[in-house]
Structure 1
Amino acid sequence: MNKTPSSDESKQMLKWLNQNRQMLLDLYKNQYVAYNANGLIAHSESLREVLELAEASKQIFAIYLVPRRTASIEILPIRFRTIARHDWQPNYHVKLKHRDIEMSTTMLVDSGAELSLISFKVGQDLGYALADAESKLLAETIGGRVEYVLRNVEMTIDEHSFIAAVAWLQTNTGGEQLLLGKEVVFDKFSIEFRQADEQILFIWRGDS
C-alpha cells in the first residue's frame, strides 16, 4: 500500500510535476504516470498496471493522469490566459479510494467549483459503473453542456479521511483535469492559497 507523502515530500513532488509537466504532455498523453520528487516511476494507460508497477518500486509516489491535449489544462473546457502569467497551478495531493482501488493523485483546487470532479476515464478505472436506467445530470458551462452522475468517494488529504460526493463526467471534454471542489472539502478544511510561494495550506477543521 502506497504511503501517504509527508507535507515536505508532497511539496517537492508537486514541484517536480510543475517543472516537468510539458515533458509529460509531450510523451505520455492520456496515460497515468506514477511519480515522486526524484522523477517518473511508471506509466501506463491502465490504472491498475501503473499502481502495481509503482507499488513494486517500494517508493512513495502519486498518480497523475496526463491530459490528451498539450496546449492547456482544461476546466470544462474553459481556459483563460493572461499576458504576464505566473506559471503555477494550485494542485494538491489527494488520495481517492473506491472499494479495492486506491490512487494518490493530483487534483486542482478550485474554489469556484461546487463539486469535485473526476473524468470519465478515472471514474471507470476506479470501478464506477452506471446503474441500469440511471439518469444522467446536466451541467451548463460556457463551452456547452456536459453530462455527469454523482458518486461518493473516500478522500484522504494530509492523512484526514472522509467521504465526499464527486461529479463523474459522462461527456468527453478533451481534458482530464481532476478538480477538488467545495462540497464537503471546504467544510473540513480552511484553505489558504499562497501563489507567490507556490503553496496551498490545508488546515483541518474536522466536523466543526
Structure 2
Amino acid sequence: MPDGYTVSSSDPNLRIYEPDQVLIQEDTDGDGSIFILHEGTLGVFKGPEQVAEITAPPATGAILGEMSEILGVPRTASIKTMEDFDERGDPIECKVYVYTGGLESIVSDTPEIAVRLMESLATRLQDTTNLHKSEADRAGKIEERMGKFRKQAQSFKKESETNEKKLGQLKTHLEKQKGILGMIPKKEILELVQ
C-alpha cells in the first residue's frame, strides 16, 4: 500500500488509510489540499500530545486543512489516522476525501465543497461566538462576585473601625477608672472587696 493508503475504485478522491498515517503535519505550509473525513477517527496533535479526536459526523464529514489554505498560514496541528473499532470489535477503515490543486481550483471544480466550507466556517464562527459569550458571561459573574466581596470587605473594614473606636473608648474609660482607683487608698479598696 503506497503512502499508507489505497485509492477507492469508486471515487479517485476517496482514500482508505491505514492507522497511524499523518495527513497534516503541524507547522508546515498548506500544499493546496483539503481533507474531508468520511469514516473513521482522526487524532489532532499539538507537538507529541493528542489534544482532540475527530470522528466523521453523519452525512457531512469533518473538513480539515481549510484554514491553512484560506489564510495562507502554516498548519496549526498535526492530523493522524487512528485505529478504531465498531461495536462488534471489527476495525473501522479510515476513509478520507482528499481534494488537491489549491482552494480556488477545488471550489470551482467541486461546488459542493464550497458549500461545505461555508457551513464549516459558519459553525466555527458560531462556536467561537458562543465561547466568547460564555467567557464574557463568566467574567460578568466573577465581576459581580468581586463586587459583593468588595462590599463585604468595606463592611468588615467599617465594622473593624467601629470596634477599634469602641476599644479606644473602653481603654480611655478603663484608664479613668484606674485613675479613680489610684486615688482611693488601698486599705479602703481591700475593705470594699471583703
**TM tier, shorter chain?**
under 0.3
Q: TM-score, normalised by structure 1?
A: 0.23
Structure with the higher helix share, 1 or 2: 2
